[in-house]
Structure 1
C-alpha cells in the first residue's frame, strides 16, 4: 500500500510532470512537422522520396550522436537547467525552419533541432527517477509516451490543416513562437533539483560500467526496435496515406491524428494497469514484461496485415498497430529508470536512447529507398514488422530481472 508521504510527494510533483508532458508533446510536434510538409516540399522543390528520407533522417544525426554525452551533462549540470536550454534551442530551430530557402538550409535547421531535442529523455528520466517510486512510474511514463503521440496527433491534425491553409512556412514559424511560452512556466513550477555534494556522486557509475551490463544491452536493443516502429510511422504515415491510399491533406490529417490518439490511450492504459499490478503484489519484472510482449507482438502482426491490406482493411490494421505500439512503448523509459536508479538515470538513458535512435538514422531513409525501389509500401511494412517482433524478444529475454543494477 502506498504511504501517505508518497502520495503527498506525488501530488507536489504533479505540476512538474504536467510540464514534462507538455514539453514532450511540443517536442514531437516539432520533430514531426517536416513529415507533414513532405508532400508540399515535393510540389515546391521537386524533392523525391530518397531526398525526403535524408531530410527526415538528418534530425537523428545530431540527436543520436549527442545522446551519448547528454546524459553526462544532465547528471553533472542538473536536469532542470538542461531541459530549459534544450527547449530554447529546439524552439528557435523550428522558427528558423520556416525561413529555409533550400535543401541545405533545411538540412541545417533539422540538425539544430536534433541538438536541442537531444536533452529531452535523459533529463526527463533523471527527474522521474529522482522523484517517483516504482509503483508510480508506469503511469508517469505511460503519460509521457502518450504525450509523444498527442504531439504527433496535434501536429498532424493541427499542423496539417495549418499547412493546407497557410503554407508550411507560416506553420513552422507560428508553432515555434508559441512554444516559447513553456519556458517561463518551467521556471516557475519545475521540481526542486536533487543533487549530491559534488553534483555527481562518487557511487555513480561511468559509461563503461553501464555498457558492461547485459540488462543495458537488452533494454537498448528493445528500445531500438520500439523506435524503428515509431519513427517509421511518424516519418512515412502521412506520405503513405496521401500517395498510396489517395487521401487528401485534410483527410490524411484526420486519419493519422486519430491513430496517434489511439496509440496514446493504449499507452496510458498500459502504464496504469502495470502500476496497479505492482501495487497488488506482482513483480515489476512480470508486470512490465507482459505489457511489452503483448504490445510488440500485436504491432508486428498488424504491420504484416498492412503490407497486404486492401482499400477497406488497411485502416483496421493501422488501428491495431496503434494499440500495440502504445502498449509496447509505455515501459521503455520505466525499465531504464528502474535498472539505472536515480544516480545513473541520466547516463543510462542517454546511452540507451542514443543506441535506440540509430533506428531514426537508418529507418526513415531505408523506408524511402524501399518505396522508391518497389514503388509501394509493402516491403517497408514487412521490414518494420520483423524488427518490431525482435523488440518483444529483446525486452523479455535480454533483460533478466527488472531491478536496480548493482554496479559494484
Structure 2
C-alpha cells in the first residue's frame, strides 16, 4: 500500500503517457457517438425525404443496436484473445465506411443495412476501451479515466448535436453523414499511429519505467493475463451474480440514455414546437449539465474520496444508487408545460445518468477475473444494449399511438427503478470475481 500511496503523491514524477492514451480513447468515444447522434438530428428531414413514419424511424434508430448488442460477447472474448490494438484498428476503418454508406442510402432497406454495419464496426469500442483502461490506469484513477471516456461520448451531444443541426439545416441530412465519415477516417489514422499497450510502449521507450511501475503497483491488470485465456470463462461469468447485477443495472442506464440520445431532439421539436436547428441547440443544455456532473462527481469526487481512505465499495455503491435516483428526474419531463421546465427535468435526469456511467464502467475492470475484462465488458454491454435497443422502438411506438412522449418517460422511470434494485441486491461488494480455475470450474 505504501508504494501506491507514494506513487499517488509523486504523480508528476512517473509521467503522463497514460493520460495521452486516455485522451486517445476518449476521442474515439466522441467520434463513435457523433456517428450515432447524427441520425437523431437528421431524423426529421431524412424521414420526410424517405417517407418514414415514427414507427419506421424508431426501427432505424434501433437497427444499429441489433448487431452492436448481439456481437458484444463474441467481440469481447476476441479482444481478450487478440488484443486491443488490431481489433480497434480494423474497427475504426469500418466506422467511416458505414457512415458514408448511410449518406448513400435511398430507402428504408439500405438505411437499415448501413446502420447494421455501423453496429458491427462500433461493437469493439467499449469492451476494448474498458480493457485498455484496465491495462493503463491504476485503481485510484479509474473514476477520472472512465469519466474521460464516457464524458467524451456525451460531449458528442454538446458539440456534435449543434454542429450536425447546423450542417443539416444548411446543407441537408446527407451532409451530416459525409462530415462524420471524414472525421471517422481521421480518427482511424490517429489510432493506428498512436495506440500501443503499455509493454510495447515501454519497449519502444515511449513509456517511462517509473510510470509503468506506478500503473502496475496501482492495481492495473497485466497483459500477460490474456495468455492464460480460456473461452469457457464466458459461460462461467454468466453464472456469476455480480455479472448480472452490474449488467442489469447498466442496462437500465442504457435504456434511458438511448431514449434521450435518439428522441430528445424529436421530443423538443414535436411536443414543444421547435424547429430542427432550435431543437438541436436546446438539446445541448441537458448534455452540458451531464458532462460537468460526470467529471466533477463521477470522476474527480469518486477518486478523491477513495484516495482519502473512504471504503471504495461504499463510495461506488452510494454514487451508483444516488445518481440513478437522480436520473428519475426524466419522468418530470412528462409533466413539462414549457421549454424551461422540460430542460430542468431533462438536465437533472441526464446528470444522474452521466454520473452513473463512469462509476458502473469502472467496476468492470475491478471485478473481472485476470485476462477477462473485455469478455465481462462484452457481456455487460451486450445485455445492456439488448435491453436498450428496445428504447427507440418503444418510444417511437408510444409517441405515435398517444401523440405524446409522456408515457415513454414513465416507462424510462420504471426501468431505472429496476436498475437501482439490481445494484442494491445483486451486485454486492465490488471485488474481483474468483477465476474459474480457482473456484474449481474448468
TM-score (norm 1): 0.95
Write the distance in 1 (CA, Å) between the matches of 2:272 and 2:227. Answer: 53
Q: 1:139 aligns with which of 139, 144, 149?
A: 144
Write the distance in 2 (CA, Å) between the matches of 1:100 and 1:184. Answer: 26
Matched residue, 1:215: 242
Matched residue, 1:399: 427
Q: 1:228 aligns with which of 250, 255, 258?
A: 255
Q: Shift in Å at residue 189 of structure 1?
A: 2.4
Write the distance in 2 (CA, Å) between the matches of 1:190 and 1:383. Answer: 41
Matched residue, 1:53: 58
Write the distance in 1 (CA, Å) between the matches of 2:153 and 2:81. Answer: 27
Write the distance in 2 (CA, Å) between the matches of 1:141 and 1:294. Answer: 18
* Contact 1:231-1:359 within 8 A present in 2 as well: no
Verify: 1:386 aligned to 2:414, yes or no.
yes
Which range is displaced more, 209-218 or 190-199?
190-199
Matched residue, 1:339: 367
TM-score (norm 2): 0.88
Write the distance in 2 (CA, Å) between the matches of 1:398 and 1:121. Answer: 23
Relative distance call for 1:326 and 1:73 in structure 2 (3 A) is same
**DSSP-derived class of the 2:196 partner:** coil
Q: Shift in Å at residue 10 of structure 1?
A: 6.3
Matched residue, 2:72: 67
* Contact 1:126-1:345 within 8 A present in 2 as well: yes
**DSSP-derived class of the 1:331 partner:** helix
Q: Shift in Å at residue 188 of structure 1?
A: 3.0
Q: Shift in Å at residue 114 of structure 1?
A: 0.1
Which range is displaced more, 255-264 or 54-63?
255-264
* Contact 1:153-1:260 within 8 A present in 2 as well: yes
Matched residue, 1:310: 337
For each residue in 1:306-332, what CA deviation from the matched residue of structure 2 results, as whole angstroms up to 9, or x when unmatched? 111211422211111122111122212
* Contact 1:228-1:384 within 8 A present in 2 as well: yes
Q: Shift in Å at residue 153 of structure 1?
A: 2.2
**DSSP-derived class of the 1:404 partner:** coil
* Alignment map for 1:262-277 (pairs within 5 Å): 262-270=289-297, 271-277=299-305
Which range is displaced more, 102-111 or 147-156?
147-156
Q: Shift in Å at residue 90 of structure 1?
A: 1.5
Verify: 1:286 aligned to 2:314, yes or no.
yes
* Contact 1:63-1:114 within 8 A present in 2 as well: yes
- In structure 1, runs of 5+ residues without a counterpart are none
Which range is displaced more, 19-28 or 315-324?
315-324
Q: 1:113 aligns with which of 118, 136, 145?
A: 118
Q: Shift in Å at residue 398 of structure 1?
A: 1.4
Q: Shift in Å at residue 126 of structure 1?
A: 0.6
Write the distance in 2 (CA, Å) between the matches of 1:187 and 1:361. Answer: 30
* Contact 1:205-1:344 within 8 A present in 2 as well: no
**DSSP-derived class of the 2:429 partner:** coil
Rg comparison, structure with higher value: 2
Q: Shift in Å at residue 215 of structure 1?
A: 0.5
Which range is displaced more, 113-122 or 197-206?
197-206
Matched residue, 1:328: 356
Count how many residue pairs are aligned between Structure 1 and Structure 2. Answer: 407
Write the distance in 2 (CA, Å) between the matches of 1:202 and 1:89. Answer: 27
Matched residue, 1:152: 157
Write the distance in 1 (CA, Å) between the matches of 2:127 and 2:14. Answer: 22
For each residue in 1:159-181, what CA deviation from the matched residue of structure 2 results, as whole angstroms up to 9, or x when unmatched? 11101100111221122113212
Write the distance in 1 (CA, Å) between the matches of 2:183 and 2:361. Answer: 28
Matched residue, 1:36: 41
Relative distance call for 1:110 and 1:391 in structure 2 (3 A) is same
Write the distance in 1 (CA, Å) between the matches of 2:170 and 2:223. Answer: 52
Q: Shift in Å at residue 199 of structure 1?
A: 4.8
Structure 1 vs Structure 2 CA RMSD: 1.8
**DSSP-derived class of the 2:227 partner:** coil
Write the distance in 1 (CA, Å) between the matches of 2:21 and 2:29. Answer: 12
- In structure 2, runs of 5+ residues without a counterpart are 200-221
* Alignment map for 1:123-138 (pairs within 5 Å): 123-138=128-143
Write the distance in 2 (CA, Å) between the matches of 1:254 and 1:182. Answer: 25
